[in-house]
């Protein structure tokens, strides 16, 4: 880290006033949607954005069902894989999930109102150069492998997260 409060994120150099770090530990659809809207909005406004995904938030970065292929894993790792949603298209709401009906209603209303879905927002974030960091410790703990993550995701740890947060004007924990 350089002492002049600049650091490279997604290939750009910027000062701390033009940086945002988002730490996402949830896989609730409404929280993920909000985090991605904030990331895309900030990146569109010229801010360098870093998103650190940990614990349940990692499921947002997983390849969609069938895209990762079959991997031999121990039983506990397979269990985590079965319990975690694969990508932002399979998330539940934090409130009013209503046995899966709630997310369907949200997605339907979003389409009617021409609002980008979490899948579209994640794709846009990648196109805008948002840095997507998957917590390596959580990946190890849950038995997730880099091959199961979407393109452009980099593994990182506490030092990566804190390095981005310390050089950002704002850090959001969702």
Question: What are 19-63's pLDDT values in tens digits?
Answer: 999 999 999 999 999 999 999 999 999 999 999 999 999 999 999
Name the residue range of residue 164's domain.
16-173
C-alpha–C-alpha distance, residues 41 and 26, integer Å: 20
Query: pTM for the whole thing?
Result: 0.84
Question: Domain count of the chain?
Answer: 1
Q: Is residue 64 in some structural domain?
A: yes
Q: Is residue 168 in some structural domain?
A: yes
Pairing verdict, β 131-135 and 48-53 = parallel
Residue 133 is part of a domain; what is its CATH number? 3.40.1260.10
Instruction: Enumerate residues 6+ apart whose C-beta is below 8 A from 30.
Output: 93, 94, 95, 106
Helices marked H in 15-74: 29-44
> Residue 157's pLDDT band (boundaries 50, 70, 90)?
very high
> pLDDT tens, 54-93?
999 999 999 976 555 567 777 887 777 777 888 888 889 9
Q: Is residue 5 in some structural domain?
A: no
Q: Is residue 1 in some structural domain?
A: no
At 120 the pLDDT is 96
């Amino acid at each position: 880290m350089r002492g002049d409060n600049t650091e490279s994120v997604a290939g750009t150099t910027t000062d701390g006033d033009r940086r945002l770090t988002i730490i996402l530990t949830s896989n609730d659809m409404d929280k993920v949607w909000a985090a991605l809207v904030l990331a895309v909005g900030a990146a569109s406004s010229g801010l360098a954005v870093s998103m650190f995904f940990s614990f349940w938030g990692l499921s947002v970065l997983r390849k969609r069902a069938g895209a990762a292929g079959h991997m031999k894993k121990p039983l506990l790792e397979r269990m985590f894989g079965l319990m975690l949603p694969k990508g932002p298209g399979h998330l539940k709401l934090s409130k009013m999930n209503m046995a899966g009906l709630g997310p369907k209603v949200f997605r339907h209303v979003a389409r009617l109102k021409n609002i980008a879905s979490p899948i579209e927002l994640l794709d846009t974030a990648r196109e805008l150069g948002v840095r997507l960091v998957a917590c390596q410790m959580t990946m190890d703990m849950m038995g997730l492998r880099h091959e199961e993550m979407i393109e452009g995701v980099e593994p990182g740890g506490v030092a990566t997260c804190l390095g981005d947060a310390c050089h950002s004007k704002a850090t959001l924990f969702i």
